[in-house]
């Protein structure tokens, strides 16, 4: 059986990639918050007009739910990383 080598990433490269991933996540969070504001505004216009059918209002609520789901996933990742780094800092201070 052939031996498989596991390539490990050095700490400097890992920190650089982690920084870029965090920047991308914060850009996604900003974009999703913007989309949530726009979709909420549009759903309010549809609900107040009462000219459109219930189908368009339900579609507007689904887009708001989509935005909230993406925001929840991104914020969960951010809090996970935050607590991971906090645990590393506490461990180093002991």
Domain boundaries, the chain: 27-93
Query: Which residues does 43 contact at the CB level (< 8 Å), separation at least 6?
Result: 57, 60, 61, 63, 64
**Chain centroid offset of residue 25 CA:** 6
pLDDT digits (tens, 9 = 90+) for 19-29: 899 999 999 99
Give the pLDDT confidence score for residue 2 in this predicted structure.
60
Q: Is the pLDDT of residue 52 over 80?
A: no
């Amino acid at each position: 059986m052939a031996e498989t080598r596991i390539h490990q990433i050095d700490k400097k490269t890992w920190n650089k990639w982690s920084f870029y991933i965090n920047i991308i996540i914060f850009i996604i969070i900003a974009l999703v918050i913007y989309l949530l504001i726009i979709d909420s505004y549009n759903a309010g216009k549809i609900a107040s007009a009462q000219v459109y059918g219930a189908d368009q209002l339900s579609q507007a609520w689904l887009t708001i739910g989509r935005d909230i789901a993406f925001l929840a996933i991104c914020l969960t990742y951010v809090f996970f990383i935050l607590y991971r780094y906090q645990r590393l800092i506490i461990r180093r201070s002991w």
